[in-house]
Amino acid sequence: MEKFSLIGKGLSNIPWQEKPKNLEGPIWRYSENPIIDRNPVKGISRIFNSAVAEFGDKFVGVFRAETINGRPHLHLGWSEDAIKWEISEERIDFKDEEGNDFQPTYAYDPRLVKVEDTFYIIWCTDFCGAALGVAKTKDFKEFVRLENPFLPFNRNGVLLPKKINGNFVLFSRPSDSGHTPFGDIFLSESPDLTFWGKHRHVMSSGGEGWWQSLKIGGGPAPIETSEGWLMFYHGVSGTCNGYVYSIGGVILDRDEPSKVKYRCKNFVLTPEEWYEERGFVSNVLFPCATLQDANTGRIAIYYGAADTYVGIAFTTVDEILNYIIDNSETIGNEAEIEK
């Protein structure tokens, strides 16, 4: 097995379990999943598809909370171990840059990404249809919502945790305003989070495997490694019983992240456990966040399960990168810069 390294800092208190013996795949589930069950907080029926990050000596989460009227909002949570969470009953209070209220009518599937000294939240919001919302914070006390970066329709926005040539880099998945039976991943750049351009096509659905034949979408913030940017994403297949969401893995070029170096033709995790197969929307794995420890190469992946629960899975940089490289395929012109 070839050796790789994570680029970044150590995280000694990362949640972790060793790989079970005789497990063939590159990713394994936390034995105590789900870590967030139904009705976790007063007024909230389900939490899933949520984001977490290290903050100081604790962990912070931005959670997709389905309220008891069925409308999703973003709620803040805190944890000592990134497993047991205390989640606020109140939604996050967003202000615009002048200090005026700027609340989304709904908000779901957040990603939480730190770029330099600021945390950014990207989520799906309403802007005459499904669109991307963006906000920033440094202390998780004040949240400044910026204007939406793109026109509708768009979902699955995630920032690269590092500027490239001085620009922010945002992955997204243009879509429709419904349940979107199509979708590729694109990349856009901005010097200031206001003006966006240099749009690039990154990845298409399809390929040899049927598990991602219908559509794909970005997952957690890409992880910088010695081989390139490791990005987990979701791939969707259509069946006679509806959509099935699985987790895939890809390695992008470190300097030109719209270029695919290696892309796994197999899913790296697919619905198999009861909390993934049965729920409000069955057969869904939706990765939204990772924690990683550069000292050990450990990676913890947070994912929504069946639009009802939150689960954790584990891997190492060596396990996952070797698996992607050994099972790689490229689709179309994704190994090139597609302007």
pLDDT tens profile 94-123 = 999 999 999 999 999 999 999 999 999 999
289 has pLDDT over 90: yes
**176 to 108, 148, 210, 236: CA distances (angstroms):** 16, 17, 22, 16
Three-state helix/strand/coil letters over 178-189: CCCCCCCEEEEE
Is domain 28-329 annotated with CATH 2.115.10.20? yes
Closest Cα to residue 132, out of 193, 63, 179, 191?
Answer: 193
Domain boundaries, the chain: 28-329
Mean pLDDT of 3-22: 97
**What pLDDT shows up at residue 330?**
87
235 has pLDDT over 90: yes
Non-local CB neighbours of 89 within 8 Å, separated by 6+ positions: 41, 42, 43, 44, 75
Closest Cα to residue 123, out of 83, 158, 160?
Answer: 158
Mean pLDDT of 137-155: 98
The total number of residues shown for the chain amounts to 339
**What pLDDT shows up at residue 306?**
98
Cβ atoms 106, 127 nearer than 8 A: no
Bridge partners, 238 (sequence order)? 243
Instruction: Give the chain's mean pLDDT.
Output: 97
pLDDT tens profile 244-275 = 999 999 999 999 999 999 999 999 999 999 99
Cβ atoms 201, 214 nearer than 8 A: no
Closest Cα to residue 263, out of 285, 230, 286?
Answer: 230
Bridge partners, 25 (sequence order)? none
φ, ψ dihedrals at 155, nearest 5°: -145, 175
**What pLDDT shows up at residue 288?**
98
pLDDT tens profile 167-202 = 999 999 999 999 999 999 999 999 999 999 999 999
pLDDT tens profile 203-234 = 999 999 999 999 999 999 999 999 999 999 99
Structural element, H or E, at residue 38 = none
Cβ atoms 134, 125 nearer than 8 A: no
